[in-house]
């Protein structure tokens, strides 16, 4: 998704764009996403600022490009709930901090929860409603952004693997070598998501992107059973955690097509695609705790994806001074769908010499030379078993 958004904004800015993907558009992490566009799970700071910008841009994209219905854009809002009074108090303190960054967060007492979600458990202490949270169908959104970028002159090279980078006399990156030939470019954009470290290695720079596996369960069609994105308060802590161990918290949401999506698990196990019945059962149990009506619902399928994790939980966005000509837009972890438009917008401004309205310094890719990240290991050789990376070459 990030690569698609970067291609769309760059093409709209008048740059000549070539998108290189070793599989099909949205065939990897993007296609395994839930399509969440969230501000509710982000603490005040650079990522929340990026999410607030992206929230506005997603809305504009849906309206301006005229494909809100095609991407199933739904500004349905999010509901974060707490099981105990102390959890509700923690949510209240968190929301108070978020409001200072422009987030809308409305307190919902326990007896008012059924008005938002009639099938929600009656044993909860309360929650907070976030009207700015939204959802899209990620695979469709990425495909339509690429289609629109091509209409503006971008070219698409699917089934094409990047095998190297070309370098100039001064060591600057001047293009990409693929298994189908070489593409010359003034800028090469690394939007390879979970495999961003592999593209960085081709330029002899370190970007410690690691895969963080997650499972999603998909139920039979249940129209309007779940009206919002609903998740338990401990999901916020799971998102912020750096642990490699399994973490699972209840995340339940309906879709425009009817099925309910159930997540969310996180674990660092490399690119292991083995199905875990243990995780599936845990997710189902947590979902039933929130929505008892799900106890007798059929799960039709499950799928997994790999979130591109960076050790400080911030993406890498912008030119890499260690390899002039190389630009990064990866490492968004589980927020890649939501943060894609803001990332693409900022990249287009940087490549055209304009001043971004958002401070991009916290996202600088070279920050990982800091000794704080010395112990982070890239623990996988990039083997993907069919997963796809989005790699972009932008010719300015």
The residues, any chain, with a CB within 8 Å of residue 118's CB and separated by 6 or more, are none
pLDDT-based confidence at residue 388 (cuts at 50, 70, 90): very low
Contact (CB, 8 A) for 291 and 119: yes
Q: Residue range 268-281: average pLDDT?
A: 92
Helix ranges (DSSP H) in the chain = 2-12, 46-64, 85-99, 113-116, 138-151, 196-202, 234-240, 277-290, 336-351
pLDDT tens-digit readout, 72-82: 899 999 999 99
CA–CA separation, 72 vs 236, rounded Å?
Answer: 25
CA–CA separation, 280 vs 351, rounded Å?
Answer: 43
Going along the chain from its start, the domains and CATH numbers come out as: 2-68+137-207+311-395 (3.50.50.60), 78-131+211-309 (3.30.9.10)
**Strands 134-135 and 16-21: what pairing?**
unpaired
Give me 44's structure tokens: 């005040």
Contact (CB, 8 A) for 80 and 40: yes
pLDDT tens-digit readout, 8-19: 999 999 999 999
Q: Residue range 309-317: average pLDDT?
A: 95
Number of other residues whose CB lies within 10 A of the CB of residue 57? 21
Answer whether 0.85 is exceeded by the pTM.
yes
Contact (CB, 8 A) for 271 and 383: yes
């Amino acid at each position: 998704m990030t690569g698609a958004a970067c291609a769309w904004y760059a093409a709209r800015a008048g740059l000549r764009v070539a998108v290189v993907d070793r599989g099909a558009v949205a065939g990897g992490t993007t296609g395994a996403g839930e399509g969440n566009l969230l501000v509710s799970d982000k603490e005040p700071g650079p990522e929340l600022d990026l999410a607030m910008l992206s929230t506005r841009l997603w809305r504009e994209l849906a309206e301006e490009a005229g494909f809100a219905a095609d991407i199933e854009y739904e500004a349905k809002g999010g509901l974060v709930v707490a099981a105990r009074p102390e959890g509700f108090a923690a949510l209240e303190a968190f929301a108070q901090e978020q409001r200072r960054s422009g987030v809308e967060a409305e307190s919902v007492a326990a007896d008012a929860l059924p008005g938002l979600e009639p099938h929600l458990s009656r044993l909860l202490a309360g929650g907070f409603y976030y009207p700015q949270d939204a959802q899209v169908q990620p695979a469709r959104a990425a495909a339509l952004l690429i289609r629109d970028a091509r209409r503006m002159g971008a070219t698409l090279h699917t089934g094409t693997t990047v095998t190297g980078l070309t370098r100039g006399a001064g060591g600057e990156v001047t293009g990409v070598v693929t298994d189908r030939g070489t593409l010359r470019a003034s800028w090469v954009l690394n939007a390879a998501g979970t495999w961003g470290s592999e593209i960085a290695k081709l330029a002899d720079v370190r970007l410690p992107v690691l895969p963080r596996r997650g499972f999603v369960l998909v139920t039979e069609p249940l129209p309007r059973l779940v009206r919002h994105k609903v998740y338990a308060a401990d999901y916020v802590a799971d998102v912020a955690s750096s642990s490699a161990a399994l973490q699972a918290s209840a995340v339940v949401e309906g879709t425009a097509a009817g099925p309910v999506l159930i997540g969310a698990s996180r674990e660092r196990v490399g690119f292991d695609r083995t199905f875990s019945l243990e995780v599936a059962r845990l997710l189902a149990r947590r979902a039933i705790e929130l929505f008892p009506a799900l106890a007798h619902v059929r799960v039709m399928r499950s799928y997994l994806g790999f979130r591109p994790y960076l050790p400080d939980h911030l993406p890498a966005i912008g030119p890499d001074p260690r390899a002039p000509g190389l630009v990064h837009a990866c490492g968004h972890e589980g927020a890649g769908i939501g943060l894609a438009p803001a990332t693409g917008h900022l990249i287009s401004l940087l490549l055209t010499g304009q001043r971004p309205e958002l401070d991009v310094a916290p996202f600088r890719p070279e920050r990982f030379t800091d000794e704080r990240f010395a112990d982070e290991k890239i623990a996988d050789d990039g083997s993907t078993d069919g997963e796809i990376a989005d790699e972009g070459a932008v010719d300015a």
